[in-house]
């Protein structure tokens, strides 16, 4: 499909080449008085996007959805929400098209909070300023931490008030993603589409995200490309979830419609970062049973991937029993891959060159000490990195000192200098994360006083979270309550 030429973004519309069952043509709702709140200059520069054009009056109209760059759609998908299957879709988002970056990668350009669609159910399709700025902050924080994520290009206010528990200022987020294809998209195709629809979606996904398997293979000795699709999605998700766990990130709503095939983190609703280390930490106000607690995230990822494999069964083998055996064989790799990625990461956080039984026992004992002494997750590893272990509460206890001595002994037998060990630890232990209390303070000023100074300062700090040469001041401090009782909300 030809690109739509304009002064802002030349967009392609490859997703619209899929069968019509996968989307509905949808224009954003007109908004009365859009104003630019924040624009991601760094992202625009990286992707070759015309920053000046979007900051103009005409550009703000584009970011608000009042001016279209071509045909726009709302995507259809389904999914398991807290374990229960339901029909879903873009209930408050519109896909404007795909932008090709200078490196050739296509990025979806989506407006979030742009009004009702055929999939809105009882929702108004709108979004409030606070949650949209929150997604902007957290997604940029994740990017700084080196974790695959969707990115936020801009937030505009709409000039409207929207009703939630109270009346709130309306806003629209412009989100970029390598695609918005989800596990739930495949579930939708398997449940509501034909085999041809499912195959079309799989072929499109392979071509967009897994070019090395794009050609549908005809040689019987070669792998089925759909098996390879399942295999690669499993690998990407194993790596992604390990990265979440290593920095204490809790997504909060790991439904199958919130797991992307591309391996990007998506939908920053009730997410948060852990302060006090505890495997059962939950922040989401709607996760009353702790289904998506910090310690459950790897298992929930495996559960979601099982739903993905179920959707792919007709493509894995024409014989259902054989298809199930293939799926089971591939799914078994998730735990192994996740364990490998996480163990390598956690050992690097402690300066270990290799994953050994002895090193993993030290990791286990450290996490037990952290949990029993209610230690801050990020600051524990930061203080160990810079040699300030005496500031840790558990170091004052005999078992803490004993652990530290054994850790030092294990490091000493490695064929590396102390400086090399420190460099590895610095590369894997962030100094700063998007602390929940700091995010809330920035959002409070932005939404109540239209003062974005705290927000901009926080974003600047989060650009280089592994830079130990900087003085981050209060950004490394923990809240007085140390995160206890903090609750997040989905913002819908």
- Residues carrying an active site annotation: 257
Calculate helix-pair angle for 183-192, 297-316, nearest 10 degrees: 40
From residue 306, give the alpha-carbon distance in Å to each of 88, 324, 329, 332, 380: 19, 11, 11, 10, 35
Which tokens belong to 304? 């979601």
Q: What angle do CA 312, 316, 320 make, to 5 degrees?
A: 90
From residue 230, give the alpha-carbon distance in Å to each of 186, 197, 312, 333: 11, 17, 8, 11
State the burial class of residue 357 (Cβ atoms within 10 Å of its Cβ: 0-12, 13-18, 19+).
exposed
Q: What is the dihedral angle through the alpha carbons of 343, 349, 353, 355, rounded to the nearest 10 degrees?
A: -20
From residue 276, give the alpha-carbon distance in Å to each of 286, 367, 379: 21, 11, 10
Distance CA(311)–CA(309), nearest Å, equals 5
From residue 390, give the alpha-carbon distance in Å to each of 40, 223, 385, 387: 40, 55, 12, 8
Distance CA(162)–CA(122), nearest Å, equals 14
With left for phi above 0 and alpha for psi between -120 and 50, is residue 272 left, alpha or beta? beta
Q: Is the dihedral of CA 383, 386, 387, 390 positive or negative?
A: negative
Q: Assess contact for 429 and 405: CB atoms under 8 A.
A: no
Distance CA(169)–CA(159), nearest Å, equals 7
Distance CA(362)–CA(121), nearest Å, equals 51
Distance CA(468)–CA(96), nearest Å, equals 40
What residues are paired with 4 via a beta bridge? 11
Distance CA(147)–CA(264), nearest Å, equals 8
Pick the closest to residue 229 from 197, 196, 203 (CA basis). Answer: 203
State the burial class of residue 481 (Cβ atoms within 10 Å of its Cβ: 0-12, 13-18, 19+).
exposed
Which tokens belong to 334? 């998730």
């Amino acid at each position: 499909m030809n690109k739509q030429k304009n002064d802002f973004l030349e967009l392609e519309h490859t997703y619209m080449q899929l069968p019509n069952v996968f989307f509905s043509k949808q224009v954003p709702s007109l908004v009365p008085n859009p104003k630019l709140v924040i624009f991601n200059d760094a992202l625009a520069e990286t992707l070759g996007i015309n920053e000046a054009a979007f900051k103009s009056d005409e550009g703000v109209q584009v970011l608000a959805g009042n001016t279209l760059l071509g045909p726009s759609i709302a995507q259809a998908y389904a999914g398991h929400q807290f374990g229960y299957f339901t029909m879903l879709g873009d209930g408050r988002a519109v896909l404007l098209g795909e932008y090709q970056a200078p490196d050739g990668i296509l990025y979806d350009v989506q407006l979030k909070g742009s009004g009702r669609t055929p999939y809105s159910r009882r929702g108004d399709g709108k979004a409030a300023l606070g949650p949209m700025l929150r997604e902007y902050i957290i997604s940029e924080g994740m990017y700084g931490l080196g974790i695959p994520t969707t990115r936020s290009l801009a937030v505009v206010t709409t000039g409207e008030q929207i009703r939630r528990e109270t009346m709130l200022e309306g806003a629209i987020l412009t989100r970029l993603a390598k695609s918005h294809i989800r596990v739930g998209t495949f579930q939708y195709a398997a449940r509501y589409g034909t085999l041809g629809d499912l195959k079309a979606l799989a072929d499109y996904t392979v071509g967009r995200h897994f070019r090395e398997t794009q050609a549908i293979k005809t040689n019987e000795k070669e792998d089925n490309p759909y098996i390879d699709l399942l295999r690669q999605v499993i690998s990407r998700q194993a790596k992604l979830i390990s990265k979440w766990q290593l920095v204490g990130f809790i997504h909060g709503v790991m439904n199958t419609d919130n797991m992307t095939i591309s391996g990007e983190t998506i939908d920053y609703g009730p997410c948060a970062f852990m302060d006090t280390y505890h495997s059962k930490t939950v922040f989401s106000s709607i996760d009353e049973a702790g289904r998506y607690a910090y310690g459950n995230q790897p298992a929930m990822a495996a559960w979601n991937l099982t739903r993905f494999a179920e959707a792919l069964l007709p493509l894995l083998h024409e014989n259902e029993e054989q298809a199930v055996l293939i799926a089971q064989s591939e799914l078994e790799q998730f735990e192994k891959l996740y364990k490998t990625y996480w163990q390598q990461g956690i050992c690097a956080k402690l300066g270990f060159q290799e994953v050994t039984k002895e090193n993993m026992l030290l990791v286990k004992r450290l996490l037990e000490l952290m949990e029993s002494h209610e230690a801050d997750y990020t600051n524990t590893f930061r203080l160990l990195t810079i040699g300030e272990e005496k500031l840790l509460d558990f170091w004052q206890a005999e078992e803490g000192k004993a652990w530290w001595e054994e850790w030092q002994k294990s490091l000493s037998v490695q064929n590396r200098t102390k400086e090399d060990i420190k460099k590895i630890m610095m590369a894997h232990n962030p100094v700063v994360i998007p602390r929940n209390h700091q995010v809330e303070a920035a959002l409070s000023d932005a939404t109540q006083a239209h003062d974005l100074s705290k927000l901009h300062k926080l974003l600047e700090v989060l650009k280089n979270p592994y830079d130990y040469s900087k003085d981050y001041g209060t950004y490394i401090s923990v809240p007085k309550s140390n995160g206890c009782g903090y609750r997040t909300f989905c913002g819908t």
